Structure 1
């Protein structure tokens, strides 16, 4: 016998899709406009008032201007928790953190009584395959890594990388001990921040000791607020520092263009977006329309960086490598801003 459901049941794989389809239809009939890039964003404007609806499966956030339009619904209240994030709102801005989740995973992996660490990782740590090292419980190790991956949604200070060995487990436990020292760090979004968009990119050439691939690091700011970041190993081995920096800048450019398109739904328009890179060679490659020996090995998909520079979408600006410490300090200020709000 084959049965056909008349209604989607909560918990089934297609239930979220059915719920979104129904909610989308309702919002569009109510006068909302779907985001051109983010298809789970809906906006309703009436004069100077704007109502914003952001959907994630069956969780919904409402926001808008002080006198935003209203309609009847249940369970309305000030946003305090969303997808595991703790949110504290005030007149000065909004503080987002995961203190409860941090304490929960410390307890789950028996790290609640561990000695706190002031840094997420030792500067001398260089992980490698360590085939001669003692093997550890893979289930526990992968559980710890998975917990950290979810925590990185709000903690850019712990960005991370099979057959795990004792040295790998010690490195992960070091991060957990750092979380013990900083459980309430989060991101501060000031209400006085401007809406200027800018991005930073950097690369660690051949930093991986196993396959010698480079790591791209990018972050994007909206005014003084850190809104997006990434630390990811590149897919191909870079033959030079210039190539590694160029690929990292291309990744940052891609994210900036997505943010630019998304922010256009809110009525924000941008000209050339500044992208700060600490490699003059990578900037020269992007600005030079002639394909020369430094670029012939770079995958063609990364050359869209040059294309968007020529179109005027981004502006490549050099920043001294030593000044990256200032950028790091600016990011850290987002975590610690007005932690007193948690009290």
Structure 2
């Protein structure tokens, strides 16, 4: 049993490994050996009444394509379904989910719209963010106005649907040749919310070139400085992932957390500055403690290379597409040739079983 995730189970036998993940009454399992996988199937079939569904292709409306070169996870069918549901299938496509000129606020004088429909649109989009990090910021920004939606908010949501009409088959590509190095990015705007002037933090974590975790959230308090706004979520997530990956036998030294704030980097590295940061809550020195332990290392990254920027603000088309590509968000047609290249047997066999 995994030490962090209690629904994860691992078995090592010789040089082979079997991984089993349980989700309610579903079991996803895979291994580096056909014999090990077959043995597990036989044992489970003797103990439980179960249906073997074969190679993993669908799970919770996620579509999975596997091949020797990697795995592609997307929600193309779900995207088409929600476009049809909200009658946006014939809408004019847009190249980005949100315009850089868009400014959303409470708009109390604006025309009220159907709250039930608005919440349905937001809920459908929230589920889509499981494989579409490119719409995360726009969706979460619009979700803040579910209590009293206005026409301007509905127009912003429709813009996201029009972007999906332009990019219905985008998903996440996980290359089998990706390295097993862990790194994180953290960024935040400064007092971006027009209502309460709270900042929006964006984080993402990558295992090699593969995006495995991301978030966009409004901070709980108003920040008076750019130093305080550096997200704690990124540091906590990196430490959690480090502990989880240790169950797979992966060990990491200092994990780089890339930020574009030089003042935030100076706090854990320069004790002289600590006397000047008493206005910052004690919990923010959590980072300094882990820096001294050798768990995390803050590294400066140029503004244009800050991948988490896509989670904190709307971007113009060129920057948006570049960051989207660097996060591994691509179309299945772009990777289809790699997935169907020959009849080469994949090293890992992905299977799914449904317990009855």
After superposition, where does 1:169-318 map in structure 2 within 5 Å?
A: 169-245=154-230, 248=231, 250-289=232-271, 292=274, 295-318=277-300
Deviation at 1:126, TM superposition (A): 1.0
Partner of 1:110: 87
Name which of 98, 102, 122 aligns with 2:99.
Answer: 122
**Per the alignment, in what secondary structure is the counterpart of residue 228 of structure 2?**
helix
Aligned mates of 2:133, 2:308 — CA distance in 1: 16
**Per the alignment, in what secondary structure is the counterpart of residue 193 of structure 2?**
coil
Aligned mates of 1:276, 1:186 — CA distance in 2: 24
Aligned mates of 1:68, 1:208 — CA distance in 2: 56
Partner of 1:339: 333
Aligned mates of 2:333, 2:280 — CA distance in 1: 44
Deviation at 1:281, TM superposition (A): 0.4
Aligned pair in 2 of structure 1 residues 56, 67: CA closer, same or farther (>3 Å)?
same
Per the normalisation by structure 2, the TM-score is 0.82
Q: Which moved more, 1:62-71 or 1:136-145?
A: 62-71
Partner of 1:49: 16
**Per the alignment, in what secondary structure is the counterpart of residue 242 of structure 1?**
coil
RMSD across aligned positions (CA): 1.9
**Does the 8 Å CA contact 2:72/2:171 hold for their aligned counterparts?**
yes
Structure 1 residue runs of 4+, over 4 Å off?
290-294, 325-328, 340-343
**Does the 8 Å CA contact 2:169/2:332 hold for their aligned counterparts?**
no
Structure 1: any 5+ residue segments left out of the alignment?
1-33
Structure 2: any 5+ residue segments left out of the alignment?
46-50, 142-146, 311-321, 338-356
Aligned pair in 2 of structure 1 residues 293, 108: CA closer, same or farther (>3 Å)?
farther
Q: Which moved more, 1:293-302 or 1:38-47?
A: 293-302
1:211-253: CA deviations, max 9, x gaps? 10001111100001111111111111111112112xx1x2211
Aligned mates of 1:124, 1:295 — CA distance in 2: 35
Partner of 1:12: none
1:81 aligns with 2:74: no
Aligned pair in 2 of structure 1 residues 68, 315: CA closer, same or farther (>3 Å)?
farther
Aligned mates of 2:82, 2:263 — CA distance in 1: 43
Partner of 2:319: none
**Does the 8 Å CA contact 1:50/1:68 hold for their aligned counterparts?**
no
Aligned pair in 2 of structure 1 residues 104, 338: CA closer, same or farther (>3 Å)?
closer
**Per the alignment, in what secondary structure is the counterpart of residue 20 of structure 2?**
strand
Deviation at 1:308, TM superposition (A): 0.5
Q: Which moved more, 1:330-339 or 1:42-51?
A: 330-339
